[in-house]
Structure 1
Amino acid sequence: MPDVLRIADIDHSAIKSLLAHYGLSMVQVADGETIPGSYWGEEEAGIIGNTVYARSDTPVHSLLHEAGHLIVLPPERRAETHTDATDSIAEEDAVCYLQIMLGGTLPGVGRERVMTDMDAWGYTFRLGSARAWFEQDAENAKHWLIEHGLLTSSGEPV
């Protein structure tokens, strides 16, 4: 199990506030229990409707990624979402970009930590790392998010 930042390591009120900003909620599942709506199983976050499910051992990057899937969906599609939310490669790229940006808004997390944890967990990018992708190859993802009203024109989360 990679050494990544986990939900237990950060302020839950900051996570809940971030999710609430996008009309989402978080349900913390008891340790050892199965996480509802988890695509990857184990300690990975899950999504059902407007809710992100996580345990104390859930990686922060996983919670941000799954929340990102719900954030990029129109509200009417969120209600029918269960476990898998991706429509396209462009949307998946946008979610990866958004999770990095959202990490930068959380105290004690930051963009760098999210990218480091994405690499440790095994995300794969053409340029070899999340940081290289984010800095050199993610313009399409950034523009997708701007076009969908999820980033400002300067690239900050809305």
Structure 2
Amino acid sequence: MGFEADAAVVRLRDIAIEQARQLLGLFDLELVLVAENEAIPGSYWGECEAGLIGSCVHVRADTPVHSLLHEACHLMVLPTDKRAAVHTDATDSILEEDATCYLQLALADRLTGFGFERACADMDAWGYSFRLGSARVWFEQDADDARTFLHARGLLPLPGPTEASAD
């Protein structure tokens, strides 16, 4: 991923934060809001990127929503007993990274003001790279391994409500 801090992407401040908290709660994860201009604990990329420590996803209002989902999905694909050991980097393999990307796109419609189309566009704008050139094409044509992995982990079909709500 290439870090593009100035890319015009949807930020946490642009969506309902409580809705994001509820979504993470479906997977026994906690969303921790960090004060503006404070360093984000557990951030692999630094700057405004989301961070991971245990079962907590740390974000600021300027954190891109795709980053929030991506880091949360890293924890979602891990067996629950491995989450406590996570600090900053949660990836064990390329397959887990692919499953994380797939899951973040699959969950994007759960956040009002974000959604699948915008998630694909934001991932492309931020510099995620896929063999077929874009997040959407990868998701639709080249993500069989990721889907198989997620099915095996019980993450597909997705748990919880299927409609985004503005709670």
Instruction: Tell me the residue number matched to 2:11.
Output: 6
- Higher normalized contact order (CA 8 Å, seq sep 6+, divided by chain length): 2
1:91 maps to which residue?
A: 96
Q: Which of residues 17, 20, 43 in structure 1 aligns to 2:22?
A: 17
Deviations 1:97-143 (A, max 9, x none): 00001111111111111110000000000111001101110111111
Identity of counterpart residues, as a percentage?
59
Name the amino acid aligned to 2:51: G
CA distance in 1, matches of 2:140, 2:26: 26
Q: Gaps spanning 5+ residues in structure 1: where?
A: none
> What is the alpha-carbon root mean square deviation over aligned residues?
0.6
> In 2, Cα distance between the equivalents of 1:149 and 1:51?
21
Q: Which runs of 4+ in 1 moved over 3 A?
A: none
> Normalising by structure 1, what TM-score?
0.96
| CA distance in structure 1 between the aligned counterparts of 2:10 and 2:139, rounded to whole angstroms | 20
Per-residue deviation at 1:12?
Answer: 0.7
The partner residue of 1:76 within 78, 81, 84 is 81
